[in-house]
Each structure stands twice: as C-alpha cells, then as structure tokens.
Amino acid sequence: MSAYTHCSVVSYYCKMQFEVSPIQFITVCAVINGFVFAFLLFEKKENRQANRFLSLMILSMCLTLTPLVIDMTIWNTYQWLAWLPFSLSYWVGPSFYFYIKILTGSPRFRKKDLWHFSPIILNYLHSAYHAVLVNADPWPYFHHIAEVLESAAILSIVIYLILSFRLIKPYRRSLLDNVSNTERIDLRWVGQIIYIIGGVCFLFAFFLIAGTLAGGRYTLEEWDDPRAFLLLIYAGILYWISISGFKQAQIHKIPAHEIERNESKRPSEIVKKLDETIRTQKLYRNPELSLTDLSQAVDISERSISDTINQELNKNFYQLINEYRVEEIKMLLQDPSNDHLKILSLAIDAGFNSKASFNRVFKQFTAMTPKEFKSQNS
C-alpha cells in the first residue's frame, strides 16, 4: 500500500470516527458522566442502600441511552450487540422508587420486592428476536408486539414516578414536625425531577406514536428532529440526577415517637417550659436542632411536645424554632453595634445554615427582606 493510499485510509477512518452531531456528542458525554457517578454513588457511605438504587437507575438510563447514539449501520453489521444489556428502561422506574422509599424511611428492600424488576424481560423480546433471526423477519406481528412492549417502559416509569411522589409529600410534612432546617434534606430536587421526567415521558410517548403513524420517518439524524430534542433533554436529566444525587446530604431519619410517658404537665405548662428552655439555652442556634434534641433538653416526650406545638400554638416544630431565630436576627439588626457585621454572619450565628433558607424564612415571618428590615429599623 502506498503512503498516499495509507494516508487516505487513515484520513477517512478519522473522519468516520469523529463525524458526530452536537446532540450525539452531548449525549455521549452525559452517558460517560453517568457511568462515573453511578460508580461514585455505589461507593458513597451516606444514604448507602438508597444510593445503590440511584446508582442502578443512572446505570439503567445510561445503557438505555447508549443504543440511541450508535449508528444503525453498526447494529446491522454486528447483530450480536442485541444480546448485550443495553436497554434497561424497565429498571429506571423501580430503581428510582426504591431510592425514594428508602430515603424517606420506609422499610428496607426485601427479597419479595424483586418482582418490581422482573419486567426487564420485556426489554429483550425485541432484541432477542433480531439476534436469533439475524436479518430475517418471519413473524412481523410478533416483532411489532415486541416493540410495543419494549416502548411500554415509558408507562412503567410514569407509574413509579407517581408512587415516588406519594412518598415525598408525607415525608416533607413530617420533616416540619421534626427538624428546624430542611433545606438539604427536603428532597426538593427530587420533586422537580419527577415533574420533568413525567413531562419528558409524555413527550416521548407522543412522538413515538406520531413517528409510528408517520411510518417511522422521525430519526435522530437532524437537529430539527423532535426526538433528537427529547434526547437532549434526556441527557440533561441524566446530568441533573447524577450530580444532585451525589450532592444529597444524609437524610434525617424520622423517628417513631416513643410510647407516651405518664406526664402530668398541662399544655400551658409545656409551652412555658419549652419557651424558657429554648430562650435560656438558646437551642435555636443549633442549625441541626431536632425534635429529639428538644425532647431531651426539656425531658418531655416528643409526642407531647409535637402535640402541644401543633394544637396549642397552631405551628409545627420547624416554624417554632425558626421564629426564635428570626426574633434574634431582628434584635441584632436593630442594634447599631452590629452594623459592621454582615447580615449573613448574624444569620449563621442565629442557627440558619444558608443564605437562601435565611432569606426565605425571614421574609415568611416579616414580609420583607433582611436588608429592607434593617433599612427601616436602623
């Protein structure tokens, strides 16, 4: 082979290797990122069991996404690829559901729960059909049914998203009765993910049906292809879940309230003792203060404290403690001797753990921002 011919072959090979669309490049990067974070989450010690289900979800999303960025000529040339565990879309939903279920304090995963992952066989009816028969298509009706069953994973994902959302709402309500800061453990990002994935699943289903009715004319080859746009969103979600899941702090386990003690204190007496203890010991300055901590400080059962706060003060634990914090901040902001100090510094000292939560809570109690309050009272 001449040097010219050799260079031509190399040039053609390099061109073939790097001729990818921007969307394919982004999705390939998302898949690589997903594989990395799946490994990191699997090894992370915080929320260990829950994170292993999130790791499985991310891995399933990566493997499901991979075939969509591989050129169809490769699939046609190497039929044995159909046997590889690429499509795991039926594991995305249950993996996410058990991630949320364990995070929110539900019982641990049990062997009898394995049935949730059994529909994976539906992902491989279509692949096995092509892998066994190679280029033949003797049973087109079966082929069509297999494709429909594989695509029905979208419905599975939507169902598990709904089940997950039903777990988050009571968990977030119970947090307000047990902790004084919820910002890093309220799973707000999970709720946002559920809404977005639900919307993407709906769009995928719409374009899947539209593409089928149009004779399969939608492909991933052009920028203006609707499914290509959805693929880009899918890649973005994969990035979001990977990073947010890794950043998720250790979840506060909501304890079951202990058996009620024989306490003779009246609600008014409990309220007085709570106020006295919180003020004198400045318990609210502890950003991680929980109902359990307060119960130990006043030697009153958690159940009695929670019931008293709810019924006598018409508040929850979160509101009660943050009210003390806001009161202290208001006093500090009105004191001229603190003018040289940053407002955020005062907020951290008062028990807030971030600027965002401080600004949000302060405005809830005063109907104005800290700067507005300071300017009006200085």
**205-257: pLDDT as tens digits:** 776 677 666 655 444 444 445 567 777 888 899 999 999 999 988 887 776 55
Question: Domain for residue 6, yes or no?
Answer: no
Task: Report the chain's C-alpha Rg in angstroms.
Answer: 28
Asked whether the CA dihedral 318, 320, 321, 322 is positive or negative, the reply is positive
pLDDT at residue 246, rounded to an integer: 92
Contacts of 180 (CB under 8 A, 6+ apart): 284, 286, 287, 288, 289, 290, 317, 318, 321, 322, 351
Given pLDDT bands bounded at 50, 70 and 90, which one contains residue 124? confident
Q: Which amino acid is at 251?
A: I
Asked if 55 and 38 count as a contact pair (C-beta separation under 8 A), the reply is yes
Q: Are residues 243 and 293 part of one domain?
A: no
- Single out the residue in 214, 247, 280 at which a domain terminates: 247
Given pLDDT bands bounded at 50, 70 and 90, which one contains residue 17? very low
The conformational region for residue 250 under phi > 0 = left, psi -120 to 50 = alpha, else beta, is beta
pLDDT at residue 257, rounded to an integer: 52
The span from the CA of 291 to the CA of 270, in Å, is 14
pLDDT at residue 165, rounded to an integer: 92
Give CA separation, 370 vs 103, 125, 326, 338, 373, in Å.
34, 61, 10, 14, 5
pLDDT at residue 77, rounded to an integer: 65
The structural domain count of the chain equals: 2
What mean pLDDT value characterizes the chain?
Answer: 81
In this structure, the number of other CB atoms found within 10 A of the CB of residue 180 comes to 27
Mean pLDDT, range 276-304, rounded to an integer: 93
Q: Is residue 110 over pLDDT 70?
A: yes
- Single out the residue in 213, 247, 281 at which a domain terminates: 247
Residue 285: domain span: 267-377
pLDDT at residue 203, rounded to an integer: 75
Length of the chain: 378
Q: Are residues 96 and 241 part of one domain?
A: yes
pLDDT at residue 361, rounded to an integer: 93
CA 70 to chain centre: 28
Q: Are residues 289 and 193 part of one domain?
A: no
CATH number where 95 lies: 1.20.1070
Asked if 41 and 76 count as a contact pair (C-beta separation under 8 A), the reply is no
| Burial zone of 218 (CB within 10 Å; 0-12 exposed, 13-18 middle, 19+ buried) | middle
